[in-house]
Amino acid sequence: MVKLAGTLVLVGAGKMGGAMLEGWLAGGADPARIVAMDPSPPPEMRELIARHDIRLNPDVAGITDAQVVIIAVKPQMMEEVLPRIAPLKSSKPLVLTVAAGKTIASYERHFGADAAVIRTIPNTPAAVGRGITAMASNPNVTPAQLALARTLLESVGEVVTVETEGMIDMVTAVSGSGPAYVFYLTECLAAAGEKIGLPKELATQLARATVAGSGELMRQSGTDAGVLRQNVTSPKGTTYEALQVLMAEDTGMGPLFEKAVAAALRRSRELAS
């Protein structure tokens, strides 16, 4: 249950912001305590906002009871957006960002060194309520604010807390960018099926269903991925033969993923510097 004592200000009602807004409303949040700030929200979000009579783009100066400010805009827009909403700092709100590539310090520059800031990195499955979000906070965040942040983020999936802000870049490399890795795996599996003679549409259908179903099995069973792999691998069978290629010590998926995740981590650190 999402309970708000003051106003929740959502800055950015795009895919991620919109998914969270839908989750908060489904979780019982009072629409009268929500403000959306977005010059051009997508049509479906504009309709949702209008249907629930949520305030859209009111004068920031008129919001005197901001409890939490959720920042869900693209990183390249941040320096244009933050000065406009900085007056909200007079209410001493929790500043919770779901935008990639911006450090806690960058928000403190706009909201003050005493601002309570939580930096998070969600991933795209949040759009269907199956995301996972990692969060790191500065010392100004109270236990109550941390609990509120967790409740708000759980509206789109699982939530984990990391010990240091530096770990957010590591999380980005694994789960933040991870959906793209899975989508590419699906592409590769479909292309391989087509190459051995399957019709393209059938190969694509098989690959998508296999990846989606395997993920759901792993989620529902809670069984370790390695155990699940072993369970479907018969000694000297077809899966075993394929895994000899995929698990090759030097050329298999393991070394490739190590390189890919390391590259993503390096870029995440560059963007956050």
pLDDT digits (tens, 9 = 90+) for 100-129: 878 999 999 999 999 999 999 999 999 899
Can you name the CATH fold of 7-170?
A: Rossmann fold (3.40.50)
Return the residue matching tokens 């018969």: 234
Give the integer Cα–Cα distance in Å for 204 and 209. Answer: 8
Helix (H) or strand (E) holding 187: helix 178-195
Asked whether this chain's domains 7-170 and 178-272 adopt the same fold, the reply is: no
- Per the CB < 8 A criterion, the answer to whether 34 and 55 are in contact is yes
Query: Using CA atoms in the order 116, 42, 134, 102, what is the torsion angle rounded to 10 degrees?
Result: -60
Annotation: binding site for NADP(+):
72-75
Taking the whole predicted model, whether its pTM rises above 0.95 is answered as no
- Per the CB < 8 A criterion, the answer to whether 118 and 143 are in contact is no
Residue 223 DSSP label: -
| Sequence ranges of the domains in the chain | 7-170, 178-272
| Separation in Å, CA 8 to CA 21, 88, 159, 168, 198 | 10, 11, 19, 24, 51
Q: 139-175: per-residue pLDDT in tens?
A: 999 999 999 999 999 999 999 999 999 999 999 999 9
Take residue 144 and report the two structure tokens written for it: 């109550």
Residue 49, Cβ density class (10 Å: 0-12 exposed, 13-18 middle, ≥19 buried): buried
Mean pLDDT across the stretch 130-136? 96
Which CATH code is given to the segment(s) 178-272?
Answer: 1.10.3730.10
Q: 239-261: per-residue pLDDT in tens?
A: 999 999 999 999 999 999 999 99
Annotation: binding site:
72-75
Say yes or no to pLDDT of 273 above 70.
no
Query: Among residues 106, 130, 135, 110, which one has the least CA distance to residue 120?
Result: 135
- Per the CB < 8 A criterion, the answer to whether 65 and 85 are in contact is no
> pLDDT class for 66, splitting at 50, 70, 90?
very high
